Structure 1
C-alpha cells in the first residue's frame, strides 16, 4: 500500500503534535491531528506524542477520547507512543499522579521522569532492534524508562541499563523523542507497521 494511502493520526491534546506531523510527512505518510472520537475512528494508526502525561490523560477523559482510544488499541489499531506517549501505552505506571489513567496496549510498567528533571535532559545514540542504518539519535526530556515487561512485549532498545524502546504486536513505544532530531527512521518503521495491517 502506498504511504499516502494510510492516514496516521497524532493525538493532538497536548505535546509535540506539529513535530510528529512533520516527521510522518517526511516518512511518506499522511498525518492528521486527532482530538475527537470521530477523528480517531477515521485513522489507520495513531501517534501518542510526548508532552505531559497527566495532562494528556485528563484531557483524553475530558474530550471523551479515553474509552475510544482503549477500544481501538485493544482491537489492534497500530499505535506509537513517544515519552509521555510511552507512559500512556503502559498497562501500569509505577508512580502515577492522582487521577492519571493509561490507555494500555503494552504489558509494561513504566517509571515517569526516570531519567531526571527538565534540566537533566540529554541526547544519546540508541541502537534500536529492527532499525537499520546505525544508532538512532534519541532526545530524552524528563523521559520515562521501562521497569519491566511482560512475556508478550519485545525490548527493542536499552540505554544506561534501562529499557527505552518496546514493541508488542501493533504497539510501539520509545522513551525518547525521534520527532525532534530530523531522523525519521522510527516514523518510517511505524508507518510500515500501519501499512502492514491496513
Structure 2
C-alpha cells in the first residue's frame, strides 16, 4: 500500500514540502480538514508563523484531532514553526499560544533573531553521511530536551534537529534547500513505525 504523508496546509511552506515528498515517491496531500488528516499515515507541519497556524488549526477544528493523532503515535515532522507546534513547552510564545505537543522539548520562538537575522549553514545531522545545507528563517532553537529525545544536529550551541520516537523536528527549512535527505529520514521513520 502506498505511503500517505499529508502536509498541514493552513499557512507556510506547504507547496515546497509537497514537492519534496512527491520526489521521494510519497503521496503528499494537503491537509485542511479532520477527514483529510484521517486519510494520512503521517504528517508534515511546515514552517510559517506558529501562532497563525495554531489559531487556524483551532478555527478549522483540526487542533484536537492533531493532538489525538500525535498522542496515538502518528509520525509527524515539524520544520521551524512546525517544531514550535510539536513542542510541549514554548519560551517567548504569545499569550494563550497553543501547540499540538507530543515532543518533550522546550523551544524558544525566534531564538536566532528577526527576519533580517536569517542565515544559512552546513550542519552535520545524525543519520546522514554528508552535511545538510540548512536555511534558518526567524528560527527557533531547543532550550531543553526531555528524556528520550535525541539531538540530531546543533547550531550556535543549541539543538536544531531533534527526534523522539515517531516525531522529528528541525528549526531549519530542509524543504527550501533542494536536498531531500532530511525528508528521506522522515519517510524512513514512517515506514519503520
TM-score, normalised relative to structure 1: 0.96
Structure 1 stretches of at least 4 aligned residues deviating more than 3 Å after TM superposition? none
The Cα of 1:145 is off from its aligned counterpart by 0.2
The Cα of 1:99 is off from its aligned counterpart by 2.4
Which residue of the partner structure matches residue 171 of structure 1? Answer: 167
- Measure the CA separation in 1 of the matches of 2:24 and 2:122: 20
Structure 2 residue 54 is matched with structure 1 residue 57: yes
After superposing the two structures, state which structure 1 stretch, 170-179 or 150-159, moved more.
150-159
How large is the Cα RMSD of the aligned pairs? 0.8
Structure 1 residues 1-198: aligned runs within 5 Å: 5-132=2-129, 134-197=130-193
- Measure the CA separation in 2 of the matches of 1:52 and 1:61: 14
- Measure the CA separation in 2 of the matches of 1:117 and 1:95: 13
- In structure 2, the gaps of 5 or more residues are none
- Measure the CA separation in 2 of the matches of 1:158 and 1:189: 17
State how many pairs are aligned. Answer: 193
- In structure 1, the gaps of 5 or more residues are none
The Cα of 1:32 is off from its aligned counterpart by 0.7
- Measure the CA separation in 2 of the matches of 1:169 and 1:192: 12
